[in-house]
Amino acid sequence: MNVYLDNAATTPIDPLVIEEMIPVLRDVYGNPSSIHTHGRVARSVIEKARKQIAAYFNASPSEFFFTSGGTEADNMILRTAVEDLAVKRIITSPLEHHAVLHTAEALALKGVSMETVKVNQKGQVDLSHLEELLKEDNSKTLVSLMHANNEIATLLPLKRVGELCKEYNAYFHSDTVQTMGHYAFDFEELNIHFATCSAHKFHGPKGIGFLYLNSDVKVNPMITGGAQERNMRAGTENIYGIVGLAKALELAYHNLEGHQRHIQSLKSYMIKRLKDEVQGISFNGDSASEDSLYTVLSVCFPSSDMDEMFLYNLDIEGISASGGSACSSGTNIGSHVLTSIGVPMDRPSVRFSFGRFNTIADIDKCIEVLKRVYDK
C-alpha cells in the first residue's frame, strides 16, 4: 500500500476532471484566435470557463487571465507592477515562495527597494511592523504576502492586510496558490489587487492557472507576441487545461465545507497519533493549530543516525511526503522558511499534506511506517 501525503506539492487529478477534458482534447481543436467556426467554438469554451470561474469569486470575468500556473502569475504581477505601475518598493516576508522572493530579489538588483516584514516563530506576519513600513515611506509600494504558507501552514489575515494597504495607498498581491479551491473568496469584499491560482493544487491539471487582476489596475503583458487573453498574455491558450481548471474549481467548491471537514479530521487524527506514538516530535510554525491551513502539517522529528536518509526511508516504505517544499526538489539547500522561523536544522522536518482522496487508513499506514523507521 503506497500512501500519497504530498498534496501541497501537487494533487492527483480528479477522474471527473479528466472526463471533462477528454472531449475538448478530441473535438475542440480550433485555434481560439481564428474567426472561422472551429475557432469560435474554441473561443466560446474558454469564455464559458472564465465566466464560471469568476462567479466563484464574486468578480468580473474580465479580471481573470489564464496563465501556466502560479509561478508565471507571481512573476507577471511583480514585474508589471514595477514596469507599469511605477512601484518603487516591494514589501514581502522571508517566508514567501521563491516565485515571489527570487523575483523581488531580481527587481531589487535593478534598483527597486525590497523590504521584509517581521514574522514570529509561528510564521505569522507582524501587522504592526507592516503598518510601520507602510507609514515610513510614501513611495509607490506593492505588498506581496502569501495567503497560506506552503510549508508551515500559517494563514495571513487577508482582509486586515488589504485594509492596511488601502489605508496607505499600496497595491496588494497575495500568492493564493495553496488556498484557491480550499477556501471561499469574495474579491468584491477583499481589498486585493492581485491573486494567483494553480489548478494542480486542487485536483486539476498541471500547466494551467490564472491571475486575478482587479479592474482598477492596468498593466501591460509580460509575455508578448500575440493578442491572446485580451492582449495580456501572448500564446495560444491551453483550452483543455482551462476546461479542467474550471471543472476542478466546480468540484472543489460544490462541497467545500465537506472537504474541509474531511481533510481537517485527517490532520487532527495524525497530530493525535504522532503525539501519542512518536516520541520527541514537535510541529513547525502554526501547522498544528486549528487556525492554520488545514491541508498541511509540518513535523520536526528527533535527530537520529538516519536523519539524512529519513525521507528516503519513508519513500522505500511507500510514504510520499516532502522535506519542506517540493518545489525545489533536487537541491540540497535547507528550507528558507524553516530557517527563518528558527527550526533546528540538525533535526529532520517533514511536511505531510492532505487531500480529499486521503483516508484514515493512509494516516494509520504512515504512523506504522514512522514507528518502524525509528525502531531501526
* 354 contact partners, CB below 8 Å, separation of at least 6: 5, 7, 263, 266, 267, 270, 294, 295, 296, 297
How deeply is 42 buried, as exposed, middle or buried, from its count of CB atoms within 10 A (0-12, 13-18, 19+)?
A: buried
Cα 74 to Cα 83, 205, 304, distances in angstroms? 14, 19, 39
* Catalytic annotation present for 327: yes
Q: Rounded to an integer, what distance in angstroms lies between the CA atom of residue 221 and that of residue 129?
A: 33
Rounded to 5°, angle at Cα 73 from 71 and 79: 100
Q: Give CA–CA dist 65/209, Å, rounded.
A: 9
What backbone phi and psi angles, to 5 degrees, belong to 298?
Answer: -110, 120
Place of cell 536544522: 345
- Catalytic residue selected from 165, 300, 327, 366: 327
Which residues does the annotation mark as catalytic? 327
